[in-house]
Amino acid sequence: MHLVPRRVVILGSTGSIGVQALDVVSRSPEELRVVALSAQSAWEPLIEQAREQGVTRIALADGDAAACAGEAWTGGEVLAGPEGLVRLITECDCDIVLNAIVGSAGLVPTVATLGEGIDLALANKESLVVGGELVTALAEATGAAIIPVDSEHSALHQLLACERPGTVDRLILTASGGPFRGRSAAELEDVTVEQALAHPTWEMGGKITIDSATLMNKGLELIEAHHLFGTPYEQIDVVVHPQSIVHSLIQLCDGATLAHLGYPDMRVPISYALHHPERVDVPVAPLDLVALGSLTFEPVDEATFACLRLAREAAKTGGTAPCTLNAANEVAVHAFLGGRLRFPQIAAVIEQTLALRGAKQVHSFDSLADADARARSAASELVAAFASA
């Protein structure tokens, strides 16, 4: 047990991961204490959370929302914009930051956290997709730890903990396959937003749920795993496992394969990351293998779900390609959710953006911001062209 409560900042506290993280924290008052919270624009729920947690500093990325919160809330200070988010992290004397922001907007707070030498519980996989090399080099330079919250990577973190370097042959990421598993390309032509949002095993925010339906989520996770564990892409496999009970596996040089199992509940990996290296009780049912009866596995259909192939290709190309892939995906998913793009056009926008933008070397975080902005503008033009076709 920790001697004094660990001081925790939760970024994106109004989202799916953020709310579950607050549940985890509230169950461990002796070990964890929230000291700062942030959101994009949902200022009313954010103030409510701050009141409940006794937090006196919050940040809203949206300036107008921050102004509204500043007028309505007398309980503390409201910081505004991306700079406000950075100040929230660097000025609060915290022990760990949970980054549960969605999208590449999470990169700057990731860099601010690691730059200060603060440990990072990372749900925002996009940080590593966009800036993997620079982000991991920064963590190494300051000695800050990155503890993954993504369930597959949390599983791998736990599985790899006892293994010596050189003994791990392969990492195997499991994928649920999403709501459209088994469908042909023709059957995906006219799927609706509602159908794509109906994930079979996990309840998550809108963007990652669409990423799970296209399998881009697994593509982003492949890149995330490469950077977290330093594993070459040729040694990372993906297998479809519809029940989402096995969260990932590692294959060792002596023929042993180790798996991490549990019911799909994000409070388990969130708790692992916030308490690491301790473990505390999480109220999840013990795994009942007999009741489950069988666990099944099947290959990924990369011909139908082109996003995983595109992510693999961008990962191998390297440089700014993963950043471009991610930005184009964010634009395309946003357009799909807004009814401006059909489901198969998500992959088409990403593929064409990658072809238009090419890949350049990454010299600095500024070059990533530039690649991100240019990819967004190219992808937005493609979305507009698809919409008017």
CB nearer to Mg ion: give 84 or 322: 322
Within 10 Å of residue 342's Cβ, how many Cβ atoms? Answer: 17
Decide which of Mg ion, ligand NAD, none touches 53; Cβ closer than 5 to 8 Å per partner kind.
none
Question: What angle is formed at CA 335 by the lines to CA 329 and CA 341, rounded to 5 degrees?
Answer: 100
**In the complex, what is the shortest distance from the CB of residue 104 to ligand NAD, in angstroms, rounded to a whole number?**
9
Count the residues in the chain. Answer: 389
**Burial code of 158-184, b = ≥16 C-beta within 10 A, e = fewer?**
bbbeeeeeeebeebbbbbbbbbbbebe
CB nearer to ligand NAD: give 124 or 352: 124
Which region, judged by CB under 6 A, interacts with ligand NAD, from 96-104, 165-173, 291-299, 308-316? 96-104
**Residue 181 within binding range of ligand NAD, rule CB under 6 A:** no
What's the rounded Cα separation, in Å, for the pair 119 and 200? Answer: 33
**Residue 39 within binding range of ligand NAD, rule CB under 6 A:** yes
For the chain, how far is it from start to end, CA to CA, in angstroms?
A: 60
For 260, the token pair is: 């991490």
Decide which of Mg ion, ligand NAD, none touches 124; Cβ closer than 5 to 8 Å per partner kind.
ligand NAD
Residues 6+ apart with CB under 8 A from 81: 61, 63, 66
**Could you tell me if 323 and 130 are in contact, meaning their C-beta atoms sit under 8 angstroms apart?**
yes
Show the site string, 99-128: x = touches ligand NAD by CB under 6 A, - = not.
-xxxx-x-----------------xxxx--
**In the complex, what is the shortest distance from the CB of residue 236 to ligand NAD, in angstroms, rounded to a whole number?**
17
Decide which of ligand NAD, Mg ion, none touches 102; Cβ closer than 5 to 8 Å per partner kind.
ligand NAD
List the interface residues with Mg ion, window 125-154 (CB under 5 A): 150-152
**Residue 17 within binding range of ligand NAD, rule CB under 6 A:** yes
Parallel/antiparallel/unpaired status of strands 57-60 and 77-80: parallel
What's the rounded Cα separation, in Å, for the pair 248 and 330? Answer: 26
Question: Out of 34, 118, 139, 150, which residue is the one contacting ligand NAD (CB under 6 A)?
Answer: 150
Interface residue list for Mg ion (CB under 5 A): 150-152
Interface residue list for ligand NAD (CB under 6 A): 12-18, 39-40, 42, 61, 100-103, 105, 123-126, 150, 202, 204-205, 207-208, 266
